Structure 1
Amino acid sequence: MSTQQIPFVDYLELGDDPHLVAEECTACAARYFGRRNACARCGAREFHRVPIATSGEVRAFTIVTFAAPGVPVPFVAAVVDCDGTSVRANLVDVDTDPDHVHLGMKVALTTYVTGVDDEGVEAVNYGFRPVEG
């Protein structure tokens, strides 16, 4: 029996090769996650979907120690440069202290189950995990 899974966000593609998909402006190539009516950079209104690289480097991060009720802390929130596209995500499978997270850290996209509904459908989210070397 196969477990049904749904992506936590519309721009996460699941399957054999999970990856993120951005909306790219056909006029200026600006990229956005989620639906857009117009480009914030140039005002154009046409977009096409493009896959985003599944590996990258940490460009900024913060270790979150206070969050909304029910959100486990601490966790690492980061901006990851994926071959020129900035992705905001949490870092997973890493100790949440400055000795284990650093700018320029190589990371790779990963997915994980973040919840299960009453019918057993799994909601799958994404994050980035450190890459050896």
Structure 2
Amino acid sequence: MADRVPLVDYLVLSDDPHLVAHECERCGARFFDRRNACASCGATNFHQVDIPRKGTLLTYTIVSTAGPGIQVPFVAAVVDCGGTTVRGNLVNVQPDPGQVRTGMEVRLTTVSVGTDGAGVEAVGYGFEPA
């Protein structure tokens, strides 16, 4: 099997792939990127927390125009995962308003982004209907 690497630092590839966030120890705000200070309260201490794999679709848009090489249409989504807002694409569903609705239950899934000449696969994430 080829090596796999996550496309983003906060995607953990394991038997149970999941996202991790940095949570402010003072106010509980969560961030996926590295922070020197909390954007909500200014504190400087964080710890990592696992983000629930299941969530609820808060809002979405069906993207019909994109840059060269990006297949359209696709569904760009915002998901509430146990109180943490996560942005990602909705996959394994037709990009059609009849198939996608706010409030629908979704779950995290991994998606292959591509493989390099050495056989290393880049892996991203998305959400699919639960």
Report TM bin, short chain.
Answer: over 0.9
**Aligned residue number for residue 40 of structure 1:** 39
Pairwise mapping of residues 16-95 of structure 1 onto structure 2 (< 5 A)? Answer: 16-95=15-94
SS at match of 1:87: strand
> Could you tell me how far 1:89 is from its partner in structure 2?
0.4
User: Runs of at least 4 residues of structure 1 off by over 3 A?
Assistant: none
Deviations 1:10-43 (A, max 9, x none): 0000010100000000110000001111111001
Q: Please, which runs of 5 or more residues in structure 1 have no aligned partner?
A: none
> Could you tell me how far 1:46 is from its partner in structure 2?
1.1
Rounded to whole Å, the distance in 2 between the matches of 1:69 and 1:27 is: 43
Deviations 1:71-109 (A, max 9, x none): 110000000000100000000000101000001010000
Rounded to whole Å, the distance in 2 between the matches of 1:37 and 1:66 is: 36
For 1:38, the aligned partner's letter is A
Rounded to whole Å, the distance in 2 between the matches of 1:122 and 1:34 is: 22
Q: Please, which runs of 5 or more residues in structure 2 have no aligned partner?
A: none
Rounded to whole Å, the distance in 1 between the matches of 2:37 and 2:59 is: 27
> Could you tell me how far 1:116 is from its partner in structure 2?
0.5
% identity of equivalent residues: 59
The RMSD of aligned alpha carbons is: 0.6
